[in-house]
Amino acid sequence: SAVISQKPSRDICQRGTSLTIQCQVDSQVTMMFWYRQQPGQSLTLIATANQGSEATYESGFVIDKFPISRPNLTFSTLTVSNLSPEDSSIYLCSHLGGENTEAFFGQGTRLTVV
């Protein structure tokens, strides 16, 4: 399986600013996924990122708030814009490995907005 490296692992940001999270995979993958885990909650899919096309967002998530880049088959970024305390969450990237059967996750980025 491809190894996923995500950074930063945590950050504390001022409201109104933005945070960009990077996700690097050590082999080429077709799809990458970005999830949010709010405090004490389960994971919710934000968007699916395919290389060379615009990300596909789930209901309740919009590009202006969560712009995503996918410049090549090994890298993606998620930006959380115009931060508010409600954005305090863990953000995780994911991809499929093992002949597209196993879904692997990065270690997550813990964001606290003050």
Partner 1 sequence: GEDVEQSLFLSVREGDSSVINCTYTDSSSTYLYWYKQEPGAGLQLLTYIFSNMDMKQDQRLTVLLNKKDKHLSLRIADTQTGDSAIYFCAERMATDSWGKLQFGAGTQVVVTP
Interface positions, 44-73, toward partner 1 (CB under 8 A)? 44-45, 48, 50
Element spanning 112, H or E: strand 109-113
Q: What is the DSSP string of 7-64?
A: E-SEEEE-TT--EEEEEEESS--SEEEEEEE-TT--EEEEEEEETTSPPEEPTT--TT
Q: Is 41 a residue that touches partner 1 (CB under 8 A)?
A: yes
Task: Tell me the site size for partner 1, rule CB under 8 A.
Answer: 24
Is residue 11 at the binding interface for partner 1, with CB under 8 A as the rule? no
Is 13 an interacting residue with respect to partner 1 (CB under 8 A)?
A: no
Q: Residue numbers of the site for partner 1 (CB under 8 A)?
A: 6, 31, 33, 41-45, 48, 50, 90, 92, 94, 96, 100-108, 110
